[in-house]
Structure 1
Amino acid sequence: VQRATGIANSRNILATASDPNGIQLGVSQHTRGQINFLTKETGFYQLCLGNQENHFGFMQVYLNFGVYYEGFEGNKQPEERRELNDTLEAIGTSIHKLQLHIFHMWRFYNFARMRRGADSFLLESNYRYVNWWSMAQSCVIVLSGVLQLYFLKRLFNGQSSSRQRC
């Protein structure tokens, strides 16, 4: 889980995962809140996100789920057949390891993409914030110049009476 905010104090988020019985499986309070847990039952798992540190601003959350099986063997072969097919067994083991490595690289790639997206969103938000405040301050400066010019012109304008102001 990763989140990015516009104008905020912190980019941390509280993420908790619960199993179908409501038992809490993991907690993370970090910008990249990775929670790893083992499951033994099927059902609906719950993911809760909390924003206690930043109460204001826009919130963008990226979710990335990965499920993989370790130690799961569907069909066990007899020992004689395994001895005859050592080459096929070695190939199968190396393919399984390769699949795990590819899955982990895919996860790291997704984390890097989420970090880049969060940074991009933060830069875009700050860019809009700076542009709006610069435009507002420019309008205030121009308006104060016009008002100063108006009052200076009024001060030095001569009236029809003989009384002078300066």
Structure 2
Amino acid sequence: MDARLVFSIAIFFCLYFPGNAGKDEEKAGARQIYSKPHIRRFQFHVLLRSQKEECFYQDATVGTNLVVFYQIMNDGGKIRFRHLIPGDVEDHVEVVSRGHRSTEIKEEGIYTYCFTNFRRNELQLHIMLSVIDRNLQRRLYEESAEVPEEYQGTWNATIELLNDVDTMYKFMFQKRRRTYYDLQLVEGNGKFVVYWSVAQCFVIILAGVLEVFVLRTMFRTVSVTPTNKPRS
């Protein structure tokens, strides 16, 4: 084997492994904390038929936050939104085309979100529900104190991975919200262009009729002269 190759491999092992060992010791030295609450996100695309109601149910524990976003994809459509807390108690009612509702869970049970289409036409409804569990953050922090020293590096790497996954879900959630907002904006602009084009067509037709009328008046002649003699 070439001496230069052996020398290069030896330098590589000397530089690489001590560096990694130092990084592992650095990770194991400081205990990582799960800095973000655990968030579960759900998305639904629902077709609301005329005079029908659709309800969704979410089981939640104390210390959890429920955040729901809803938006009608049809331009100008509105729905009746109802929020029911455990015991089928009506907590919030409103008639809107889009909105959001954030609830801090103080009583364990099933929370209900109902959407009613009181119009004659069908509506497309997009729903995004986030279940923010702050208890997991506290439990992980308490359990981290019980992790043996030799596994502290693995624990820290796992916590960093959870933080990165939560950040990824956050950006995915925002991207989808913007996508549906852009879709609604495009549909609204399309309808505006159609209506504006129709209005422009009427204006052009009206301008043509007026132009013909004005030109005819300019070339109109009478059959007699000012002295009431027949015009030759």
TM-score w.r.t. the length of structure 1 is 0.58
Corresponding position of 1:127: 193
Q: Give the alignment partner of residue 143 of structure 1, picking from 205, 209, 220.
A: 209
TM-score w.r.t. the length of structure 2 is 0.45
Structure 1 164/118 Cα, relative in aligned 2: closer, same or farther at 3 Å?
farther
Structure 1 90/29 Cα, relative in aligned 2: closer, same or farther at 3 Å?
farther
Contact 1:16 1:24 in 2 (8 A): yes
Q: Give the alignment partner of residue 106 of structure 1, picking from 167, 172, 177.
A: 172
- Show the 5 A alignment for 1:83-98: 83=148, 84-98=150-164
Q: Give the alignment partner of residue 113 of structure 2, picking from 46, 52, 58.
A: 46
Deviation at 1:135, TM superposition (A): 0.7
Deviation at 1:114, TM superposition (A): 2.3
Contact 1:13 1:29 in 2 (8 A): yes
Give deviations 1:114-145, integer Å, cap 9, x for gaps: 22222222221211110011112222222333
Q: 5+ unaligned residues in a row in structure 2: which ranges?
A: 1-69
Structure 1 93/102 Cα, relative in aligned 2: closer, same or farther at 3 Å?
same
Partners of 1:92 and 1:28 in 2: CA distance: 43
Aligned residues: 148
Contact 2:85 2:91 in 1 (8 A): yes
Contact 2:84 2:113 in 1 (8 A): yes
Deviation at 1:88, TM superposition (A): 2.2
Corresponding position of 1:64: 128
Deviation at 1:41, TM superposition (A): 3.7
Contact 2:81 2:113 in 1 (8 A): no
What RMSD over aligned residues (CA atoms) do the two structures have, in Å? 4.5
Structure 1 151/105 Cα, relative in aligned 2: closer, same or farther at 3 Å?
same
Partners of 1:152 and 1:125 in 2: CA distance: 41
Which protein has the larger Cα radius of gyration, Structure 1 or Structure 2? 2
